[in-house]
Structure 1
Amino acid sequence: MASVKPWSLVLVVFCIMSLSYFVNGAGSNEGLGASFIFGDSLVDAGNNNYLQTLSRANIPPNGIDFKASGGQPTGRYTNGRTIGDIVGEELGVPSYAVPYLAPNSTGKAILYGVNYASGGGGIMNATGRIFVNRLGLDIQIDYFNNTRKQFDKLLGPSKAKDYISKRSIFSITIGANDFLNNYLLPVLSVGARISESPDAFIDDMINHLRNQLTRLYQLDARKFVIGNVGPIGCIPYQKTLNQLNENECVDLANKLAMQYNRRLKELLSELNGKLQGAIVVHANVYDLVMELITNYTKYGFTTASKACCGNGGQFAGIIPCGPTSSLCKDREKHVFWDPYHPSEAANVIIARQLLSGSTKYISPVNLKQLRNL
């Protein structure tokens, strides 16, 4: 009988381990299985590149500090990684969640997660119509339904259900556009504001979101993290548009965000009681970003008002970031990358609080605790 070479045994063991990896959907029980990301431009990783839309970030200098692309733009609306990218890295996902509309969002690539977020997208279907095309949250969940079927084919129905419900996190970062590019939109929204009070509009948002999160639950999502709306009255665009001083914010925009955020917290508490086996985590993005803006020097920033990349007005807050924009040299010293979005340096601070912070910013558990539940 021929002797078996040691390297042959190694090869056989390696093949068995590799097969086991993909059949079970992950190598070890450490780290997250899949990261499913829903939302708007704060977490879009390139879906809008594949839409005929006025909202795009696949032009330089966007992505100038994104190491994975060698500094080339990917469609992320920041100079480097989004909060979703950083969270996925820290939770042990070996590669970034692939944009759903990208050609490579098929096969084993989806086992690490999928990103459905879209610049201009909102909870309400009318939100972002000024951009012509965008993916609202309803459409994003329709797309996850397609992904869910692919998981059944990849892993088999039983293992797929287990992987999605126990080893995956669903993060939803949405709502800002429902105010900025819907209810508060100059000219286009005047009629809506006359016919619908802020209370009624926010009621609509909450009712839509309740249905949307319930749909995800019905598709086996169990670990949720939902971000509230940040201090949208403090972004460079709003400050520039309203000709405010450096330490001022637009009162109406922030009041609407806080009013929605109170209702959101109630909704998440309701869902934690109603959706059996689910844990719905509340990410207090408003207070977290306001802390950065108010005490920016404490975190090593030199400005929390001026966009690093943009043009127009005192805070470079009117024209989005592009090849003709003015660009700051000290990108890590700016809270805001462009008129609307945080810099990678700000995203890192925000992500770390969500990952390991106290219940002041993330409750009832932080994301590292959520992963291990």
Structure 2
Amino acid sequence: MAGVKPWGLVLIVFCMMSLSSLVKGADNNNEGLAASFIFGDSLVDAGNNNYLQTLSKANVPPNGIDFKASGGRPTGRFTNGRTIGDIVGEELGVPNYAVPYLAPNSTGNAILYGVNYASGGGGIMNATGSIFVNRLGLDIQIDYFNITRKQFDQLLGPSNAQDHISKRSIFSITIGSNDFLNNYLLPLVSTGTRISENPDAYIDDMINRLRNQLTRLYQLDARKFVVANVGPIGCIPYQKAINQLKENQCVDLANKLAMQYNRQLKNLLTELNGKLQGAMFVHANVYDIVMELITNYARYGFTTAGTGCCGAGAGNGGQLAGIIPCGPTSSLCEDREKHVFWDSYHPSEAANLIIARQLVYGSTQYVSPVNLKQLQNL
């Protein structure tokens, strides 16, 4: 540095510091959501059930007919296009869809964008979904995340892995519907449970188990959570069909159970926000979002919320609409974007888009205490 005046040295140091801060600033600007870890049931399953011997599968046409990433081929998603989890990840800037845990390509750097553990038929309770033979309940899904967590240490080193998971990842949990539809409310299968447990005791068991499951994820360095409540399950086409209800009618018992569970879930998330240091549990009020779509479907550009687009009698309100699973022999409506429901249970991609965007950008009426865009930036 001979020949450099003292003030010149200061200028060089200042320039180097400015350059460094610009580089850091660029890094920070790129620090969007790094990974999306998805837990749940068929509402967000991205193909795990393809790799199970199970009766709960969506790996046949016309499922996935509007899923651009696969060219319209079925992927195991229980809808015509993207799931809520897919759309949330896109809106928050995750570069890739979370890879299904059981898929052969869920290895190496592919998992750095997140992993999807969701399974059609899965529930909070281990007995839920037994009618389907095989499915991944939430306990098993978290067991699998424990394996992923160790893989992150190997890929990034323990310190970077912890940072990646706790600061730059969101954990979404969409589960609970099957604990009613395919457990407590299921004829014959549920008789023993319903005799031994009244609804209050059963819902208490669900909440206690979920408390342990969420705490376990926290112990594995999860910090940013979004937990969806149970939607208006008494209003899905399946329930309307088996109970021979009109389009604007819903099954009261199913909705009352969902609302009772939802009240306790909100209390649980408030409790965990106060108890688990550094964590943020966001409550996703899916019940009210979906009920709004069902009640005021025309306002959102839909022509029906009573029958699924895919299924026997779909599009003409036939008596079997909403009972027969969506498959190659199903009738298919022409205007898929005009149906709130894709099949007997699951929303269409058009409905998923509205639900997901409410969660990402919406007000505290639907997502609280912060929306997912705000959660990302915490």
Q: Name the TM tier (shorter chain).
A: over 0.9
Contact residue 307 and residue 316 of structure 1 kept, 8 A: yes
The equivalent residue for 2:345 is 340
The equivalent residue for 1:318 is 323
For this pair of structures, how many residues does the alignment match? 349
The equivalent residue for 2:362 is 357
Return the alpha-carbon distance in structure 2 between the equivalents of residues 157 and 95 of structure 1: 23
Give the drift of 1:98: 0.1
The answer on 1:71 being equivalent to 2:72 is yes
Structure 2 segments unaligned to the other structure (5+ residues): 1-26
Contact residue 91 and residue 368 of structure 1 kept, 8 A: yes
Where do 1:67-146 residues align within 5 Å?
67-146=68-147
The equivalent residue for 1:204 is 205
Contact residue 48 and residue 118 of structure 2 kept, 8 A: yes
Which has the higher Rg, Structure 1 or Structure 2?
2
Give the drift of 1:31: 2.0
Contact residue 305 and residue 315 of structure 1 kept, 8 A: no
Return the alpha-carbon distance in structure 2 between the equivalents of residues 347 and 54 of structure 1: 24
Name which of structure 1's ranges 99-108 and 183-192 shifts more when overlaid on structure 2: 183-192
Q: Which amino acid aligns with 1:149?
A: K
Give the drift of 1:194: 1.3
The equivalent residue for 2:263 is 262
The equivalent residue for 2:154 is 153
The equivalent residue for 1:329 is 334
Return the alpha-carbon distance in structure 1 between the equivalents of residues 310 and 225 of structure 2: 33
1:167-211 deviation line (CA, Å, top 9, x unaligned) = 000000000000000000011112211111000000000000000
The answer on 1:366 being equivalent to 2:371 is yes
RMSD: 1.2
TM-score normalized by the length of structure 1 = 0.92
The equivalent residue for 1:5 is none
1:6-49 deviation line (CA, Å, top 9, x unaligned) = xxxxxxxxxxxxxxxxxxxx996342110000000000000000
Identity %: 85
Give every structure 1 segment of 4 or more consecutive aligned residues whose post-TM-superposition deviation is greater than 6 Å: none
The equivalent residue for 1:11 is none
TM-score normalized by the length of structure 2 = 0.91
Where do 1:286-305 residues align within 5 Å?
286-305=287-306
Where do 1:274-289 residues align within 5 Å?
274-289=275-290
Give the drift of 1:315: 6.5
Name which of structure 1's ranges 187-196 and 97-106 shifts more when overlaid on structure 2: 187-196
Structure 1 segments unaligned to the other structure (5+ residues): 1-25
